[in-house]
A and B are shown apart, each in its own frame.
Chain A
Amino acid sequence: MITFSHVYKTYPGSVHALRDVSLEIHKGEFLFLTGPSGAGKTTLFRMISAFDKPSSGKVLVAGYDIGEMTASQVPYFRRKIGVVFQDFRLLRGRTVFENVALPLEIRGEKPAVVAKRVDEVLESVGLVYKKKNFIEQLSGGEQQRVAIARSLIHQPGVLIADEPTGNLDPEMSEEIMDLLERVNAQGTTVFVATHDLELVKRRSKRVVKIRAGQIELSQ
């Protein structure tokens, strides 16, 4: 599903963000990416979500070669993945429904199809009763669940989550991780970056540790 093969990423000023990274993530896997700040987690995620290209090596995600992808292919590739951020990245001034529906509206789906699918996905994250609420009216945990619902509405093969629990209390963090596990149980590959090692320990999942741009451990 995701393959990194001898990937290097060097930014101007000879900043080596990734060095000879090779990694294989299989379809339906759930894994954590951990490592200190500046280790290269962000760069790795930027490549998976086509926000950056490798300087050398090969990155394959859902059948797309990120290094060879043209600018016009990027939006269509992004429609095949789901991305969740620590800061939720939701549209203020819009309702839960409008935020969650966005990926399907972009694809030009019919309103009836969109409405049905939004209800389904909000049901799965337990927020169907808040679909008419504005984002500003939700708690942090609820906002993250909306972000997850938005990332799942188009049934992506891969869901990447960057510090999805970074802004949440421990109880809410557990809820979000449970939700991500449920998503994974339905066949979606889930890749979560986190600093929270306790949270990682409590889940028996594959862990990839990265330090100074190199994979230190993949177990």
Chain B
Amino acid sequence: MMKILVPISNVPDTTTKIAFTNGDTEFNTAGVQFIINPYDEWYALVRALELKEAGKAEKVTVIHVGLADSDATIRKAFALGADDGVRIDNEGPDAYFVAEQIANYAKENGYELIMAGKETISFNGSSVGAMIAGFMDLPLVSLATKFDLEGNKATIEHDIDGGTQVVECELPLVVSCAKGMAEQRIPNMKGIMGARTKPLTVVAATSNDKLTNIKSYTLSAGRTTCKMIDENNIDELVHLLHTEAKVI
């Protein structure tokens, strides 16, 4: 039976106040809580687990390209129900590099369904899923919101410009997962206990093709002051939007 590979990313919790160090060349991880990227967890991983529970897949493996400090995040995926995990021991984050590593692993180990998240909330590339499909020369269905499997044939609903579309595709296949695929799960006690003993394999990178690098970061400028307008003087707001903000 078919095996599913779920690439997961390790990202700062959504409430994190972002800061940088080292002359604004590095993300400051001090005090930051890391989580599985929400799209990877809530949609890709949970849907993959549901497919396995329905007897449609034999095994769900999570894969991550990152350093040892991501292991706690991989174990969270175990607690949710992933069978095993692979970490490619390299910091990334160039999307080309990450995708090439995952594609190589998937090819060598015979994964027929790769379920990535639609994007990371850290680098917002929306790239890795489609790149994996490119490296493996496989079809891609992006922004999947519903996914079902009958034997070897997937039926998928996904977002397109201005609407949605239903397609069918035989495996092997890459999908990028968006809201709608599944509901968020909370790990249960059994999952949490089992997470410690599930196999996490650490392997070295198979290439060193990094085509982009980040030179520096800048925090987005906040807004200075909010001009309060009296609710009985709404003409004033419309006037300001026209003459000051020049947006209407």
Mutual binders A and B: no
* A contacts, CB < 8 Å to B: none
* B contacts, CB < 8 Å to A: none
